[in-house]
Amino acid sequence: MHIDALVELLWKTREELRVLAEQEKELKTRYDLYKRELLVKLDEQGVSGLKTPVARITITESQVAKLTDWNAFTEYVLNNNAFHLLQKRPAANAIKELTTIQGSTPPGIELLTLRDISLRG
């Protein structure tokens, strides 16, 4: 296929993706609104779930960690050798900035170059 035709197909596909992304955003907003309304109604009725002709719903709960004091947390991790509490992912932008300043990457880090296509009109 000719390169002009490929670029045109790429452009049209990106535009289709943009339309779908906007539709998805609107649907997610509506979906989340309905879920919040259902949580209120189930709480008002004092039940944790119910079954309708369409579907069964159940309230689920999960806990997530919210960091409120970075210094206290990192001190705990260091003092208790609790590094398993951290996710093993470097801060990409900070690593790139440090590498630019120092001229080399920190120990244990390898920068990978990902290639892609930038499309502009």
Mean pLDDT, rounded, for 26-51: 95
Residue 92 phi/psi, 5-degree rounding, is -55, -50
Which of these three, 25, 41, 62, is where a domain ends?
Answer: 62
- Interior CA angle at 10 toward 9 and 15, to 5°? 95
Same domain, 50 and 88: no
CA–CA separation, 20 vs 87, rounded Å?
33
Same domain, 42 and 85: no
Q: What pLDDT shows up at residue 112?
A: 92
CA–CA separation, 37 vs 30, rounded Å?
11
Same domain, 55 and 67: no
Kindly provide the b/e burial profile for residues 49-79, where b requires at least 16 CB atoms within 10 angstroms of the residue's own CB: eeeeeeeebeeeeeeeeeeeeeeeeeeeeee
Same domain, 1 and 56: yes
Structural domain for 97, as ranges = 63-111
Same domain, 14 and 53: yes
Same domain, 24 and 48: yes
Q: What is the DSSP letter of 107?
A: T
Q: What pLDDT shows up at residue 9?
A: 97
CA–CA separation, 36 vs 59, rounded Å?
11
CA–CA separation, 116 vs 16, rounded Å?
19
What's the domain count of the chain? 2
CA–CA separation, 93 vs 100, rounded Å?
11
pLDDT tens, position by position, 51-82: 999 999 999 999 999 999 999 999 999 999 99
Q: What pLDDT shows up at residue 117?
A: 85
Q: What pLDDT shows up at residue 24?
A: 98
